Structure 1
Amino acid sequence: MKILVLGAGVVGTAAAYYLARDGHEVTVVERHPAPAHGTSYSNAGLVSPGDAYSWASPGALAVFLKSLYRRDLGIRVRPSLDPAFLSWTWRFLFQCTEARAHANTDVKLRLALYSRQCINEITAETGIDFDERRRGIVYFYRDQKSLDAGARHFRYLAERGLEIELADRKRLFEVEPGLAHSGDRIAGGIYSPIDQTGDSRMFVTRLAELATARHGVKFLCDTAVEGLDIEAGRVRAVRTAKGPLTADAVVLSMGPESGVFARKVGVDLPVYPVKGYTATIPLEDPALGPTMGGVDEDRYVAYSRLGNRLRMASTAEFNGFDRSFRPDDFTRMFRSARELFPGAIDEKKAECWAGLRPMMPTSVPVIGRSRYDNLYLDTGHGHVGWTMACGSGKFLADVVAGRTPDIDPQGLLPTA
C-alpha cells in the first residue's frame, strides 16, 4: 500500500520505519524543516517503563487544585475557558479513581515494556547510535513519607512485570555514584535496572536516514498539513500547503496538534498539549555527573546522561499551545542539578527549550484504525512518547497488515 504518515517525530518516524519494513510505500509529511523538530526535539531522554503509573489517580485532584495557586510545583494549570481544555479536564477527573488508575497503568506498562524491547531490537538491527545507556534509572525521594508513597506505586508495577529494587540512601549511592555528593538530601529511592536512556532527536534523525536509504521512505518536510478530504467513509486526500496528497492509508501522528486536527473531521480524540521544559548542558567534569538516568520525584525533575551532556527536564504546564519560556522556568531544574551534582555543570552554557506533550486523559495513547476505513491513529503518548514510540509503531504495522499484535491490544485501539 501507499501510506502517508502525518508527523515526523519519534512516533511518526518509528511508524514509518515499521510500515516500510513491511513493504509499504511510505511518505512522511512534516511541517518542520527536518524530523524531530517538534515534541521529539528535546525531552528527559528516559526510556522508562518505571514511569508507567497513570497521571490520573486519586491523588491527582489535590495536586491539580494546588497548582492553581502555587508556582513552586512541577504541575502548573492556567485555567481556561477553551472547550477542549474543559472537556479534557472533565475526562481526566473521571479517570482519577483507583480502579481507572490501575487499568490505565496496566495498559501503559504493557506497551512501555514492549516498546523498550522494540527499541533495542532496532538498535541491534541497524547499529544506529543515539548516546544510549542501558544502566537503569533511579527514582528517588527526599523524605521518608514520599518514599513510602512512591514505593507503593512501584510495588504495583513490580507485581505486573517491572523489575525494581527498593534502595536506601547507601544502596542508592552504590547504584548511582553520581549522587554521592548530594549529601543528606535524599532519603532513598527505587532502582529500575531495565530502564534506559538515549537522545530521542538523534535516534529519530538517524532512523529517518536509515529508513530512507534502506526502505525508500520519503520525508516531505516544510510541508504543513491543512486538512483531510473525506468521501464515502474514507480519506480521499490529505490537503497540504503544497497541494493535495493521495494514498491508500493515512496515519495521524501529529503530536499535540493531533486532537485539533482530528476534531475537524469528526474524530473524537481528546489529546491536549502539556508543556514541558528542558535544558541540555555540557558536563564541566564528567566524573561529577550521573552515570544513568534519574528522577527527582519530589521536585518533578528528570535527567539523563547523554554522552558528556546532562539533559534535564521539568514541569507539566497546561497553557494551551504556548511554547514560550522564561529564565525562571528553569530555576527548579538548575537548583536540583547544583544540589545533586555539585561542580558538574555551568548552567550559563545550557541550551534551554520548551515543547508540548500530546496528553490523553488516560495517559494511554490511541493506536489503530479510526472511524474512517483508511485513517489510522498513532498519537497521544504524553510524557512517555520516547518510551512508547517504537512499540506503538510495530503495533500499528501489525494492525495495518491484519496481523495479531505481539501484545494484548486491549485499551490501545480507538473506541469510536
Structure 2
Amino acid sequence: MKILVLGAGVVGTAAAYYLARDGHEVTVVERHPAAARGTSYSNAGLVSPGDATAWASPAALKTFIRSLYTSDLGIKVRLRLDPYFYAWSLRFLRQCTTARLRANSEVKLRLALYSRQCINEISDEAGIGYDDRRKGILYFFRSQKSLDEGSENYRFLAKHGLPIEIVDRNRMVELEPGLAAAKDGIAGGVYSPVDQTGDSRMFVEKLAAYAKERLGVTFKFDTTVEGLVVEGDRVAGVKTQAGVLTADAVVIAMGPESGLLGRRHGIDLPVYPVKGYTATVPLDAPEKGPTMGGADEDNLIAYSRLGDRLRLAATAEFAGFDRSYKPSDFARLFKAGQELFPGAFNPRKAEVWAGLRPMMPGSVPVIGPARYKGLYLDTGHGHVGWTMACGSGKFLADLVAGRKPDIDPQGLVYGG
C-alpha cells in the first residue's frame, strides 16, 4: 500500500520504519525542516517502563487545585478561555478513580515493556547509537511518607511484570554514586533495572536516515498538513500547503496537533498539549554527574546522562499551544540539578527548550483504525512518548497488515 505518515517525531518515524519494513510505500509528511524538531527534540531522555503509572488518579484533583496557587509545584495550570481544555479536564477527572488508575497503568506498562524491547532491536539491527545507557533508572523520594505512598504504585507495576527493588539511601548511593552528595536529603527509592536512557532526537535522526536509505521511505519536510482528503467513507490522502498527496492509507502521528486535525474531521481524539521544560548541559566534571537516569518524585524532576551531557526535565504546564519560555522557567530545574550533582555542570552552558507533550485523559495512547477506512491513529503518548513509540509503531504495523500483535491489544486499539 501507499501510506502517508503525518509527523516525523519518534512516534511517526518508528511507525514509518515498521510499515516500510513490511513492504509498504511510505511517505512521512512533516512541517518542520527535519525529523525530531517538535516534541521529540528534547525530553527527559528516559526509556522508562517504571514511569508507567497514569497521571489521572484520586489525588489528581487535589494537585490541580494546589497548582492554581503554588508557583513552585511541578504541575502548573494557566487558566484561559479554552473550552477544549475544560472538556479535556472533565474527561481527565473521570479517569481519576482507583480502578481507572490501575487499568490505565497496566496498559501503559504492557506497551512500555514491549516498546523498550523494540527500541533495542531497532538499535541493534540498524546500528543506531544514541548515547544510550542500559543501567536502569532510580525513582527516589525525599521523605519516608512519600516513599511509602509512592512505592504502592511501583508494587502494582511489579505485579504486572516490572522488575523493581525498593532501596534505602545507602543502597541507592551504591547503585548511583552520583547521588552521594544529596544522600541525606533522600529517604529512599525504587530501582527499575530494565529501564534505560538515551537521546530521542539522535535516535530519530538516525532512524529516519536508515529508513530513507535502506527502506526507501520518503520524507517531505517543510510541509504543513492542512486537512484530510475524504471520499465517501474512506480517506484518500491529505491536503498540504504544497498541494494534495494521495494515498491508500494515512497515519496521524502529529503529537499535540493530532487532536486539532482529528476534530476538523469529526474524530473524537482528546489529545491536549502539556508543556514541559528541559535543559541540556555539558558535564564539566563527568565523575560528579549521574551514571544512570533518575527522577526526583517529590519535586517532579527527571534527569539522564547522555554521554558527557546532563539532561534535566521538569514541569507539566497546561498552557494550550504556547511553546514560549523565559530564563526564570529553568531556575527551579537548575537549582535541583546543582543540589543533586554539585560541581558537575555550569548552568550558563545549558541549551534550554520547551515543548508540548500530547496527553490523553487516561495517559494511554490511541493506536489503530479511526473513523474512515484507511485512516489510522498513533498518537497521545503523553510524557512517555519516547518510551512507547517503537512498540506503538510495531503494534500499528501489525494492525495494518492484519497480523495478530505481539502483545494483548486490550485497552490500546482506538475505539472512538
Which of the five TM-score ranges fits, normalised by the shorter chain?
over 0.9
Q: In structure 2, what is the Cα distance between the partners aligned to 1:294 and 1:324?
A: 26
Q: In the alignment, what sits opposite 1:309?
A: 309
Cα shift at 1:172: 0.2
1:3-402 alignment, distance < 5 Å: 3-402=3-402
Cα shift at 1:408: 0.6
C-alpha distance after superposition, 1:371-399 (max 9, x if no partner): 11100000000000000000000000000
Cα shift at 1:84: 1.1
Which amino acid letter does the alignment assign opposite residue 242 of structure 1? A
Q: Secondary structure at the match of 1:399?
A: helix
Q: In structure 2, what is the Cα distance between the partners aligned to 1:236 and 1:284?
A: 53
Which amino acid letter does the alignment assign opposite residue 324 of structure 2? S
Is 219-228 or 327-336 further displaced after alignment?
A: 327-336
C-alpha distance after superposition, 1:253-307 (max 9, x if no partner): 0000000110000000000000000000000000000000000111110000000
Q: In structure 1, what is the Cα distance between the partners aligned to 2:338 and 2:7?
A: 37
Q: Secondary structure at the match of 2:62?
A: helix
Q: Secondary structure at the match of 1:184?
A: helix
CA RMSD of aligned residues (A): 0.6
C-alpha distance after superposition, 1:142-170 (max 9, x if no partner): 11111111111110110110000000000
Contact kept, 8 Å, 2:237 with 2:250, in 1: the verdict is: no
Contact kept, 8 Å, 1:80 with 1:86, in 2: the verdict is: no
Contact kept, 8 Å, 1:46 with 1:304, in 2: the verdict is: yes
Q: In structure 2, what is the Cα distance between the partners aligned to 1:264 and 1:338?
A: 46
Runs ≥4 in structure 1, deviation > 6 angstroms? Answer: none
Is 297-306 or 227-236 further displaced after alignment?
A: 227-236
Contact kept, 8 Å, 1:226 with 1:240, in 2: the verdict is: yes
Which amino acid letter does the alignment assign opposite residue 306 of structure 1? L
C-alpha distance after superposition, 1:44-98 (max 9, x if no partner): 0000000000000001110011101111100001122312101100000000000
Contact kept, 8 Å, 1:299 with 1:332, in 2: the verdict is: no
Which amino acid letter does the alignment assign opposite residue 75 of structure 2? I
Q: Secondary structure at the match of 1:226?
A: strand
Gaps of 5+ in 2: none
Q: In structure 2, what is the Cα distance between the partners aligned to 1:222 and 1:253?
A: 16
Contact kept, 8 Å, 1:44 with 1:304, in 2: the verdict is: yes
Which amino acid letter does the alignment assign opposite residue 133 of structure 2? R
Q: In structure 1, what is the Cα distance between the partners aligned to 2:74 and 2:212?
A: 39
Q: In structure 2, what is the Cα distance between the partners aligned to 1:83 and 1:258?
A: 17
How many aligned positions are there? Answer: 416
Q: In structure 2, what is the Cα distance between the partners aligned to 1:290 and 1:387?
A: 20
Which amino acid letter does the alignment assign opposite residue 254 of structure 1? M
Which amino acid letter does the alignment assign opposite residue 304 of structure 1? S
Q: In structure 2, what is the Cα distance between the partners aligned to 1:251 and 1:206?
A: 21
Q: In structure 2, what is the Cα distance between the partners aligned to 1:154 and 1:247?
A: 44
Which amino acid letter does the alignment assign opposite residue 251 of structure 1? V
Cα shift at 1:173: 0.2
Contact kept, 8 Å, 2:31 with 2:222, in 1: the verdict is: yes
Contact kept, 8 Å, 2:275 with 2:356, in 1: the verdict is: yes
TM-score, L = length of structure 1:
0.99
Which amino acid letter does the alignment assign opposite residue 312 of structure 1? L
